[in-house]
A and B are shown apart, each in its own frame.
Chain A
Amino acid sequence: MPQTIHLDGPTDIAGFKHAARRLLVQGVPPEALIWSCEDEGTLWGTDSELDASAAAEAPQPPASLVRVPPAFVALCERVLLHREPRRFALMYRLLWRLTHEPRLRGDPLDPDWRLAEGMARAVDRDIHKMRAFVRFTPVWEGEEGGQPGGLPGEVPGEVPRHIAWFEPQHHIVEANADFFRRRFAQMRWAILTPERCVEWDGRALQFRPGARREEAPAPDAGAALWLTYYQHIFNPARLKLAQMRKEMPQRYWHNLPEARLIAPLSQAATARSQGMVAAEPTAPRPYKPMQRGRGEGAAAG
């Protein structure tokens, strides 16, 4: 009769570690377990349920009985953030096999190991893309319109809140929050996602349940400068859309303001670069040639 282990949410890595350690020492094989966390439900009805937190209060077996390579622990912390519901079962199975099959440790080509590594890489990629594609919009509480000389919309003297909307693929918001804290420590910012939100007020990171896209601010006047930059840094003589899509998949486009420029820029590109090739060279502009060796910091050598 399979045992069900309840975890405290989709990223309850500590709960998994406690339960896994205890079950391993008790000799419970992977096939006899069902892992479940609140948001994902279980396959079957609950039989002998065992709350992971209750298990944590029970005396832990001595650490020497359970020896796990540090590489496995590091792998766990990445794999368990993946959205695949069977990730806990996979990691327990790997742990079980590592304990009972010593040669597994030296074999990076094993299928379970490759599967876990593939999931860990997917989580790493998602974390990296979140760091790349989160876009903050500054929101000023005061009047609209700033003083001349500042950037559009800026209200001098006031510290704005920077707010972003993002849609990660995996459960990575809590794991990634510290990166943003370290980078933007003196800013006040918030990242809203459908599953989880994080906010930094200058003292502590706070986590809240997910939000809706409408709660995030609309693009401000200053966002236009970024679009200008995007348009002009692109070289129309080189069109490599497949390469671009590989690194910036289409699923991120509706949250990246520059994405709507991609189609018009690509369409115009061929015409523009053919035009440059076909154009007659223009008459050179007259200029005064620079005199070398006069008034420069030329060193002796």
Chain B
Amino acid sequence: MDLNRKLAILADAAKYDASCASSGTDKRDSADGRGLGSTEGMGICHSYAPDGRCISLLKVLLTNHCQYDCLYCVNRASSNVPRARFRVEEVVQLTLDFYRRNCIEGLFLSSGIVKSPDYTMEQVVEVARQLREVHGFRGYIHLKTIPDASADLLERAGRYADRLSINIELPSEQGLRALAPEKDGQAIRRSMGRLRSGIEAAREPAVQPIRVLPGARPRPARPPRFAPAGQSTQMIVGADGSDDRSILATSAALYRGYRMRRVYYSAFSPIPDAAQALPLKPPPLLREHRLYQADWLMRFYGYAHEELALDGQGLLRLDVDPKLAWALAHPARFPVDLNSAPRELMLRVPGLGPGMVERLLQARQVRRLRLEDLRRARLNLSKLLPFVLLDGHRPTSSGPGAPAAQLPPRQGELFA
């Protein structure tokens, strides 16, 4: 099979992995005269596909042969999709070629499970090793990790990769048992725990200095490098019956318990050759979008997951964004006086982001804030004004300036 055809099959197989970040790792470059590539801390999206997603990495499977039969996966063992397998050298050369053209920041490599998890993991790690040690590649590498791979393989993966990830797949144990019976929820969490230990150990400065030679000054031992960009994971939304309450609770636990950098929510997409047990409907894209918005509120705006407003079915409202939903559900906290409110409360105002809140707090130290300031700051005033109080403005309790006016008009049917 020629390279072009393999790439077509194995990129197709990888598209359901939402992760695309190329940021958050240590800064390095090739100016010392060796190697190829650099990382700057901030990721770069070299292209965008019509699904709105950024293309930052070469995202492929090493092979889409797989022994598991997870019902939601296009590559499951009982599926009839065409199969292919890259040689290790082929992935290495593709990565280097695309990188030299400045089409990518690096590689995202996953694989179906063949022969055994350790055998598969060994091949995946070998691609990363050749890139780093044979070709001096200094760009970004993200490796998918297989749960319960041996400790030695995990340590080597962390040495070569910037980020590692294991998909939690489903928010509940029952969901996982029903849709991916060969996957072991406990093994997944155990491996996430191991990744967390490796990542944190690598960040700590050494406690005990080590003497190198008698009489030499002690040098602190550098901990071995391990995935400086941390770990991330992915949950599928809409394949099982989990509501948003359990999804968000799981996310909060993942961020807290495993120090995840990111949790990705992937709307279950109809896949070619679908299993008979799965719902065949359009992916719940709006629901996925609301989950990302709720995730942002938890990470950057200080909301606890229990605070987020849910409807009677434990789902986020689709008609308004979660921040507005919270504001509408807590009228007693508003209007917020922008000249005196603390930061935590300012972050709850619809239409104010963390950057603008900082600017307002800074400007407040030299003078009072006026309506004029908000006008000039290019904010969405119709979103913001019903909830704030400042010189020159006070919101009304009814009519177009009132909070209740923020609700969109009732629609006959809400589409995803």
Give the interface of A toward B (CB within 8 A): 103, 106-109, 111, 114, 128, 131-138, 151, 162, 164, 179, 181-187, 222-226, 228-244, 247-248, 256, 258, 262, 265-266, 269, 273, 276-277, 279, 281-282, 284-287, 289-290, 292, 295-299, 301
Contact = CB atoms under 8 A, between A and B. Distances in A.
B402 interface: no
B44 A151 contact: no
A-B pairs with lowest CB-CB distance, top 4 = A240-B52, A243-B52, A297-B150, A284-B78
B97 interface: yes
Nearest to B281: A277
A136 B101 contact: yes
Contacts of B9: 232
Nearest to A183: B38
A233 to B, nearest CB: 5
B188 to A, nearest CB: 13
Given A273-B282, A297-B148, A247 B362 contact: no
A240 B51 contact: yes
A31 B121 CA distance: 68
A224 B53 CA distance: 21
A107 B366 contact: yes
B167 interface: no
Contacts of B222: none
Contacts of B100: 136, 138, 162, 184, 187
A136 B44 CA distance: 16
Interface in B30-45: 30-38, 40, 44-45
Given A107-B363, A273-B270, A239 B12 contact: no
B101 A135 contact: yes
A262 B52 CA distance: 11
Interface string B179-211: 000101001001000000000000000000000
Contacts of A236: 51
Interface string B108-149: 000001001110010000000000000000000000000011
Contacts of B30: 182-186
Contacts of B37: 183
B14 A233 contact: yes
Given A103-B367, A136-B100, A289-B77, 17 more contacts: A109-B373, A109-B377, A114-B376, A135-B102, A151-B93, A182-B30, A184-B36, A185-B32, A186-B36, A222-B97, A231-B8, A235-B53, A248-B48, A276-B272, A284-B78, A284-B79, A287-B78
Nearest to A154: B97
Given A238-B51, A297-B118, A297-B150, A232 B15 contact: yes
A185 B117 contact: no
B102 A237 contact: no
Given A106-B365, A295-B116, A297-B117, A238 B285 contact: yes
Interface stretch (B54-62, B303-311, B342-350, B381-389): B54-62
A106 B363 contact: yes
B286 to A, nearest CB: 11
Contacts of B352: none
Nearest to B32: A185
B113 A290 contact: yes
Contacts of A237: 269-270, 282-283
Interface string B43-76: 0111111111111001100000001110000000
A27 B97 CA distance: 57
A291 to B, nearest CB: 9
B98 interface: yes
B11 A285 contact: no
A289 B366 CA distance: 70
A136 B214 CA distance: 53
Contact of A226 (B35, B103, B148, B270): B103
